[in-house]
Amino acid sequence: MAKAKPNIEGIFHALGDPMRRALLDRLSRGPMSVSHLAEPFDVTLTAILQHLEILEENGLVYTEKQGRVRTCRIEPAGFDVLEQWIRDHRTQWERGLDRLAKMLEEDEL
């Protein structure tokens, strides 16, 4: 079954939680098992798995089970969608700021 393309609303929801951002920070160092990933956090393994599920549903993390070990890694798909959203909106914001600067310059003349 093909994965759904991540959407920006889900990505922002996933990134809105500090625990999920902390998990992503740890995974940015490289793939690791769920138990290793969970070590520094004072929450249950069940809670970690719930956070990972949200990250995975939104294309930010990929998990794979081999035997009894579930390994997690960063998944670029969600970050690609986020990067495109930022790029698109940055262009709009920059145009607005350029128009504002032009108006302010004209007012000074």
Per-residue pLDDT reduced to its tens digit, 28-66: 999 999 999 999 999 999 999 999 999 999 999 999 999
Whether pLDDT at 3 is above 70: no
Give the pLDDT band of residue 1 (cuts 50, 70, 90): very low
What are the chain's domains? Answer: 8-108 (1.10.10.10)
Whether pLDDT at 5 is above 70: yes
Mean pLDDT for 87-99 is 82
DSSP secondary structure string for all residues of 26-93: HHTT--EEHHHHHTTSSS-HHHHHHHHHHHHHTTSEEEEEETTEEEEEE-HHHHHHHHHHHHHHHHHH
Per-residue pLDDT reduced to its tens digit, 72-85: 999 999 999 999 99
